[in-house]
Amino acid sequence: MSADDSTLALDARQLNEFLDAAFPDAGRGYRVESADLDGIRMRLPFDDDQLRPGGTISGPTMMSLADAAAWLVTLSRIGPEAMSVTSSLSIHFLAKPEPADLWAEARLLRLGARQSVSEVRLWTDGGDPAEPVAHATVAYAIPRPRTG
Amino acid sequence: MSADDSTLALDARQLNEFLDAAFPDAGRGYRVESADLDGIRMRLPFDDDQLRPGGTISGPTMMSLADAAAWLVTLSRIGPEAMSVTSSLSIHFLAKPEPADLWAEARLLRLGARQSVSEVRLWTDGGDPAEPVAHATVAYAIPRPRTG
Amino acid sequence: MSADDSTLALDARQLNEFLDAAFPDAGRGYRVESADLDGIRMRLPFDDDQLRPGGTISGPTMMSLADAAAWLVTLSRIGPEAMSVTSSLSIHFLAKPEPADLWAEARLLRLGARQSVSEVRLWTDGGDPAEPVAHATVAYAIPRPRTG
Amino acid sequence: MSADDSTLALDARQLNEFLDAAFPDAGRGYRVESADLDGIRMRLPFDDDQLRPGGTISGPTMMSLADAAAWLVTLSRIGPEAMSVTSSLSIHFLAKPEPADLWAEARLLRLGARQSVSEVRLWTDGGDPAEPVAHATVAYAIPRPRTG
């Protein structure tokens, strides 16, 4: 990230307010726990709906969380006005997650005027972030030139 | 695909029965419309829950459908006994899908003893499959050696 | 692809001329064999330098060919003036390629003003394109707005 | 990584010896600079052959380095006997690298009996590893069960 990008446009509280406004009935329960210039951390509370046959958390649950985390880490830097859309997402599923809350940490690899690229690491609550259950790389398209 | 892999283990009806048994409350409504040695076609009926702000179908809806299509095209060849799990998924979002049914076509690029690799193309009902709204490549791990 | 994109800016001969001019000492020997609105086909002549231990063609040889094919299929539609750069490439290696010429077929999945997304299929000369040795998805960033 | 995987099978010197033996005429000049349980660091000396039009280091040069780094970090843990092959590689190009030596850092995200998944970060000598020029995720297939 270049020096002129190094301000936080939205903190954790503001990201959660934005999330609640954008998804009023957000049953998923995504919650940003922390946000700083290094990235954001989110928690997804466990829910039986997330299970797939075999009793582990489903791939779509993890993909949705990774997508949300990459979106929110982008907004944390460019602010809430951007109608950014995911342009690509690539995820590796590394271990079967136990039925428990999921954590996600998203970090920006690049923040350009037209695109952000983030990496996202997912792990199970109580587990070791160094042994992630999934790892994703996500590109977001930023439609309008940033004026900040 | 090598010649010895060229039989269909499950047809469209059997895939749908398997899907219903595995996900009894499958609100998503995935339906396999056709299955042959070239691949499978699925339809996801439109539902308001699939929308994201802006009125287009959400990324997670498309990722879940791509994942399901890659899983089912694998099962169409190896049968219902395999506890296969997604090992990686890479998706490009190409156009914003209108609020309508989504179609998916999945084709196997490789069917090995331990892994399948599929490509999945998504498009909007009434649209042109040659102008997909998303394109995914999905790898599935097949835990046990196939005995067929 | 939308209707207004449906013209070929460079044919196979022009693509080869462009390639020769851009890479004067192009030892790799890439050659565009055909180009039309469906995509392009390229051939890479076999060379011992492409081998890895075990006698199969190396991954980097295949990645380079996939990258070149995605670049050239983009130029076939937007013309030679664009300084496009690869923004991402995702490749699955599906079979070990025998020591022989490699073929690549690239098709545009999307051609936007700022980005193209292509899929590329590689197979061995004399083999079956339906049983590719590798499959890639490649995104190209197009720096300037196209004026055509 | 699980506890029983936490030994280093090959250190930096042994990885370089292995590399020299496997690629006797290795003009590329890859060199492992350090290797420990956190991962490996490699350097690729700059060479004019790596340039693409525009004077920046080519995509294939970066893809090859990322592939090699993911391979060597796997071997650092499973030893030199494994005929591992890349099964997939996904790379984002984040900035145009200046003509200079390239660094790569590879870390294992997962080391299983049949597959490793690594992430690789590339940056320019003298630059900031936190501002990578490229980021890759690479899966390696490990053909035989590990006996260690």
- pLDDT tens profile A22-36: 776 655 689 999 999
The predicted structure's pLDDT at residue D119:
97
SS3 for chain A is CCHHHCCCCCCHHHHHHHHHHHCCCCCCCCEEEEEECCEEEEEECCCHHHEECCCEECHHHHHHHHHHHHHHHHHHHHCCCCCCEEEEEEEEECCCCCCCCEEEEEEEEEECCCEEEEEEEEEECCCCCCCCCEEEEEEEECCCCCCC
- pLDDT tens profile A126-144: 999 989 999 999 999 987 6
Averaged pLDDT for residues C87-109: 96
Check if D114 contacts B (Cβ < 8 Å): yes
CA distance A138 to A119: 6
**Closest-CA residue of chain C to D87:** C93
CB pairs under 8 A between A and D: 39
Domain assignment present for D38: yes
Domain assignment present for A61: yes
Identify the residue among B2, B90, B92 best suited for mutation to test binding to C, counting C beta carbons within 10 A and taking the highest. Answer: B92
Domain assignment present for A146: no
Domain assignment present for A148: no
Distances (CA, A) of A13 to A22, A31, A36, A73, D63: 14, 9, 12, 13, 39
Element spanning B43, H or E: strand B39-44
Question: Is the per-residue pLDDT at A3 higher than 70?
Answer: no
Averaged pLDDT for residues C33-56: 91
Asked whether A77 and A140 are in contact (CB, 8 A), the reply is no
Total Cβ atoms within 10 A of residue A136: 28
Element spanning C49, H or E: none
Domain assignment present for C146: no
Range scoring the smallest mean pLDDT among A53-62, B88-97, C119-128: A53-62
Structure confidence at residue B105 as a pLDDT band (50, 70, 90)? very high
DSSP-derived letter for residue C140 is E
Q: Which long-range contacts link B124-130 to residues 24+ away (Cβ below 8 Å)?
A: B124/B97, B124/B98, B124/B100, B125/B43, B125/B46, B125/B100, B125/B101, B126/B100, B127/B98, B129/B103, B129/B105, B130/C1
Averaged pLDDT for residues A59-77: 95
Cα distance from N-terminal residue to C-terminal residue, chain A = 15
Which of chain A's residues have a Cβ under 8 Å away from the Cβ of C87?
A: 115, 139
What is the average pLDDT score of chain D? 88
- Report the DSSP pairing between strands D115-124 and D51-52: unpaired
Total Cβ atoms within 10 A of residue A41: 20
Domain assignment present for B112: yes
CB pairs under 8 A between B and C: 39
The predicted structure's pLDDT at residue A61:
94
Range scoring the smallest mean pLDDT among B13-22, C3-12, C98-107: C3-12
CATH number, domain with residue B16: 3.10.129.10
Residue with tokens 């290795």: D26
Domain assignment present for B148: no
The predicted structure's pLDDT at residue D5:
57
Task: Encode burial over B36-69: b for 16+ CB neighbours within 10 A, e otherwise.
Answer: eeebbbbbbebeeebebeeebbbbbbbbbbbbbb
Structure confidence at residue C144 as a pLDDT band (50, 70, 90)? low
Check if A115 contacts D (Cβ < 8 Å): no
Domain assignment present for D146: no
Which of chain B's residues have a Cβ under 8 Å away from the Cβ of D114?
A: 114
Asked whether C107 and C38 are in contact (CB, 8 A), the reply is yes
Question: Is the per-residue pLDDT at C24 higher than 80?
Answer: no
Q: What is the full DSSP assignment across B50-69?
A: GEETTTEE-HHHHHHHHHHH
CA distance B65 to B28: 9
Asked whether D135 and D119 are in contact (CB, 8 A), the reply is yes
The predicted structure's pLDDT at residue D144:
65
Number of domains in chain A: 1
- pLDDT tens profile D21-74: 877 665 568 999 999 999 999 999 999 888 887 788 999 999 999 999 999 999
Asked whether C17 and C79 are in contact (CB, 8 A), the reply is no
What is the average pLDDT score of chain B? 89
Q: Which domain does B73 fall in, by range?
A: 3-141
Residues 76-95 of C with CB under 8 A from D: 83, 85-93
Averaged pLDDT for residues B19-33: 79
